[in-house]
Every structure is written in structure tokens, then in C-alpha cells.
Amino acid sequence: MTHKIAILGASGYTGAELVRLIATHPSMEIVALSGDRKAGMAMAEVFPHLRHLDLPNLVKIEEIDFSGVDLAFCALPHATSQSVISQLPTTLKIVDLSADFRLRDPAAYEKWYGKPHSALEMQKEAVYGLTEFYREEIKQARLVAGTGCNAATGQYALSPLVEAGVIDLDEILIDLKAAVSGAGRSLKENLLHAELSEGYHAYAAGGTHRHLGEFDQEFSKLAGRPVQVQFTPHLIPANRGILATVYVRGDAAVVHQTLANKYEGETFIEVLPMGQLPSTKHIRGSNFVHIGVITDRIEGRVIVVAALDNLTKGSSGQALQNANLMLGEPEETGLMLAPVFP
């Protein structure tokens, strides 16, 4: 059986990544692609790398007949996403890649995104899309909220540890390095090649990055009490990949074993042998996460490093993994592509 798929907001990087992944998916067919400012164009004009595929042209969302659609990926900007999704048929399954349905608490949404949520009912209904932690809920969900790409990376390193109570919850620090595609295809001076290449710097430092809302929500839930982490992202001169260097306190062997146990049997999560650390180079273009653990020279301090591809496991790959679950397909279908190296 072939599932009919729509992608809303297909002219951005996460939209293109969805098309790339679905291109070899045996039981999905893309029947509609939207792109407001580029409506009327062929995908090959917007993304020449997809030229070999037989795809529908980009249209405006209101032109799509959703009656023939089984599932829609929504890759729109936040705020836009909630207003679009609230107008879609209530029978349509939706995987949202924006930030709009990640936070369950309306006050938290308003705090981090600067205005009240306009679709509170749907916000309540949405399931947080970190697959390995919400698998059963996702299978039953109508609306799944894709996680932040930085938020996913930090959680893969930390969630099992917070849940198991094997680290000091008041001493968690995430120093994260993110490639530029996470910022999307937007025309900003700091995303120009001449501005970014051969340079790197921190951004949204000091506890101001919006993905902190997700960390607070998820870690506090797992711990059963408020948890606040320190989080400093950096922009790195590369196109894909996030590396989270996470500093915790506990016993390194216990930390490593806790992660290994939690992810045993998980197709996409690889816990490296104790003392080995990952590189973003080794997960590029794939849905895999590599996690390493090393002990520090200072007793009781442990470093956990996690790497994933922000466009794949950090957004579009995760979205497809969740869509597979929602549609009753094997979770890994279309996602077993090996990383592209070098």
C-alpha cells in the first residue's frame, strides 16, 4: 500500500531533505508540495539536485486537495505553522517540523517564542517527536511535533542519564557546535559564505536559545523535578552536523553503561566503546546518532559527546521515522542510507 504524502513548505532545506529521503521510500508517494513564494515553479528549479525525480510542482497550500492525502509534513516557519495546521482537515495525520508544537505548556511557549500560542487545543494534542523516547505515543498520534535539532542532540546524550538519576542534575553543561544549514535557507548576512567560512563563534549564548524550552520541559519531566541546564551553541563553518559536548558529574562507567543499555536495540543510535568520541563527519547525510563517553582527569567529571545530522536525524529523518510509525510502516523504512564520507 502506498501512502499519499504532502509536504508543506517544500522550498526550504528540511523540505528538500524530506524529498531526498522519500525518493527511495518504497511505500510513500509525494502527491503535493507547497511553497508560497515559489508556487508555480517546478522543484527542479528550486532544488536542481532533485531534477531526476518525478515530482508535483510547487503550489500554494490552499490549492492542495487534502482528501487524497494520508499524511502531511509541515516544514513551515514557526507561528505560520500553527495557523496553517489549525486549518487542515482533522483527519489528516501531520508531522510538524516547526517549533510550534514542541512545548506543552502555553506559558513556556509564550516565554520562548514571544507571543501566545494560537492553537492551544492542538498544542495539547501534539506528541513530542523524539522517537526513541515517545515511540508508543507517536504510533497513536495524529499530530507529532518535530524536535529542535540542537534539542535532539542534547537529549540523546542526556535523557537516559537524567531518567536514570546517575548524574548531578544541577551541574549539566552543553557546549554545542552546529552547522549552518540549521539556520535554513534564509538571506542573512552571517550565513554568507564569506562571513562564515574560516570563522566560528558562539550565538544565542547565556541561556537565551529557544531550544532551552525543550531541554527544560523534557529533562524536568524525566527527573520529576525542575532541571535547568547550561547551553551554549556555536556556529561552525560546515553545512551539516551537530556536535554536543556535554559535561556532567557522575561515574563514567555508569554513564556509559546507562546509555548503552538504553539504546540497545535502537537501529539509529550507536554508543561507541568507552573512551571513543564521535565526529559529525561520520553521520553526515544519515539518520544515525553517534554517542561517546570519556572520563575527565578531574574525579567525578564525565564528558558525553553526541553527533547527528541536523537535517536528517535532527529534523527530516526524524520526521520520516515518526511518519513511518504513524502509518504502520517499519520505523526504519527509507532511512537506512549510510553516511556520505568523505
Residues known to be catalytic: 149
For residue 106, the SS3 value is helix
Nearer to a copy of itself, 12 or 101 (CB): 12
Task: Give residue 124's identity as a one-letter amino acid code.
Answer: K
Nearer to a copy of itself, 126 or 162 (CB): 162
Residues 176 and 306: their CA atoms lie apart, in Å, by 9
Which strands, in side-by-side order, build the sheet including 143-145?
58-59, 28-34, 3-8, 71-74, 93-96, 143-145, 127-128
Residue window 243-272: x/- pattern of binding to a copy of itself, with contact defined by CB under 8 A = x-x-x-------------------xx-x-x
Number of chain residues interacting with a copy of itself (CB under 8 A): 85
Say whether residue 286 binds a copy of itself (CB under 8 A).
yes
Which region, judged by CB under 8 A, interacts with a copy of itself, from 69-77, 114-122, 144-152, 277-285? 277-285
Give the contacts of 78 (CB within 8 A, at least 6 positions apart). 98, 99, 100, 113
Task: Give residue 115's identity as a one-letter amino acid code.
Answer: K
**Binding-site member from 192, 224, 328, 330 for a copy of itself (CB under 8 A):** 192
The CA–CA distances, whole Å, from 240 to 72, 74, 280, 282, 322 equal: 25, 21, 8, 11, 21
Say whether residue 121 binds a copy of itself (CB under 8 A).
no
Say whether residue 52 binds a copy of itself (CB under 8 A).
yes
Q: Do residues 200 and 236 make contact, with C-beta atoms less than 8 angstroms apart? A: yes
Residue window 79-118: x/- pattern of binding to a copy of itself, with contact defined by CB under 8 A = ----------------------------------------
Which region, judged by CB under 8 A, interacts with a copy of itself, from 51-59, 64-72, 80-88, 127-135? 51-59
Say whether residue 208 binds a copy of itself (CB under 8 A).
yes
The CA–CA distances, whole Å, from 201 to 196, 217, 237 equal: 9, 27, 10
Task: Report the nearest approach of a copy of itself to the CB of residue 188 (Å).
Answer: 7
Task: Report the nearest approach of a copy of itself to the CB of residue 142 (Å).
Answer: 29
Q: Which of residues 303-342 bind a copy of itself (CB under 8 A)?
A: 303, 305, 307, 336-342
Which region, judged by CB under 8 A, interacts with a copy of itself, from 65-73, 75-83, 118-126, 169-177? 169-177
Which residues are registered as beta bridge partners of 93? 71
**Binding-site member from 15, 146, 250, 278 for a copy of itself (CB under 8 A):** 278
Give the contacts of 318 (CB within 8 A, at least 6 positions apart). 129, 130, 131, 146, 147, 152, 287, 312
What's phi and psi for 294, nearest 5 deg? -145, 150
Say whether residue 54 binds a copy of itself (CB under 8 A).
no
